Amino acid sequence: MGVPYVPIFGLVGTDLLKKRDDMVIAADPFDSSKKSVVAKALRPDVAIFHAQVADRQGNVSCGYEVEAVMLAEASAHVIVTAERIVDRLTEKEATGAFIPSIHVDSVAHAPFGAHPAGLQGMYAPDKIHMRDYVIASRDDAAFAEYLQTHVHGVTDHADYVERFVPLEWKRPSKAVGN
């Protein structure tokens, strides 16, 4: 949108609002007897997210994830990983949550790049991995070990996919659709 702030409903009286210095209570400029929370615009330096399909020009299609479109528009730089790279997005693919290449700095091919989370229309979250992640996140030592195994101890994305993405996801019949 590019506007400096937006009014938002709710949050008044919550502990969440107390922690946010980018949200304040302000008068309705059209009716000074009414108030609401006003949130300062987020202008990220860099946005990184995973999409369903991108093309060689840097156009991106992310299914129904319209929030990703706003994220790309708001951010100074945008890095996208994509499940699939095609020469040119079709007219059909360039609808819905479509991000034109003008917003995108770089695109990388990363099959199963959302793992262990899911990707709408492609695969559901890896519940077993998610459960292990939650358990590991309970203390610093266990989480350090998780990071060592899954992040620092991995040579590249292909190595990660080979070792941590469930085998049945990689079979052609399972790779598309749930």
Partner 1 sequence: MEAAVEGRGQLMDYNEAELMAILLSREVRDNEISACGALSHIPAAGLLLAKELHARNAELIILNSVFNPFKTSRQFHFLAQRGELGLFFVSGVQIDRLGNYNLHQLGPDIDKPQARFPGGYGGGMIYYCARRTVVFRTEHTRRSLVEKVDYISAAGSSPPDMIRLGGPSKVVTPKVNFRFDKDASVLRLDTIHAPWTLDDIQANTGFDVGNGPAVVTPAPTPDELNTLRQVVRRKMIATGTYAAWAEKTLATS
Residue ranges that bind partner 1, judged by CB under 8 A: 8-16, 25, 28, 33-36, 64-67
φ, ψ for residue 52, nearest 5 deg: -70, -45
What gap in Å lies between CA 81 and CA 159, rounded to an integer?
Answer: 16
Torsion of CA 1, 55, 112, 71, to 10 degrees: -10
Minimal distance, residue 170 CB to partner 1, in Å: 26
Minimal distance, residue 49 CB to partner 1, in Å: 15
Minimal distance, residue 13 CB to partner 1, in Å: 3
- Cβ distance to partner 1 smaller for residue 16 or 128: 16
- Cβ distance to partner 1 smaller for residue 65 or 126: 65
Contact between residue 80 and residue 110 where contact means Cβ atoms under 8 Å apart? no
What gap in Å lies between CA 67 and CA 100, rounded to an integer?
Answer: 14
What gap in Å lies between CA 87 and CA 56, rounded to an integer?
Answer: 5
What gap in Å lies between CA 53 and CA 73, rounded to an integer?
Answer: 18
What gap in Å lies between CA 151 and CA 144, rounded to an integer?
Answer: 10
Minimal distance, residue 19 CB to partner 1, in Å: 8
Minimal distance, residue 177 CB to partner 1, in Å: 16
- Cβ distance to partner 1 smaller for residue 58 or 118: 118
- Cβ distance to partner 1 smaller for residue 35 or 109: 35
- Cβ distance to partner 1 smaller for residue 35 or 43: 35
Q: Which residue in the block uniquely carries the two structure tokens 């939650």?
A: 134
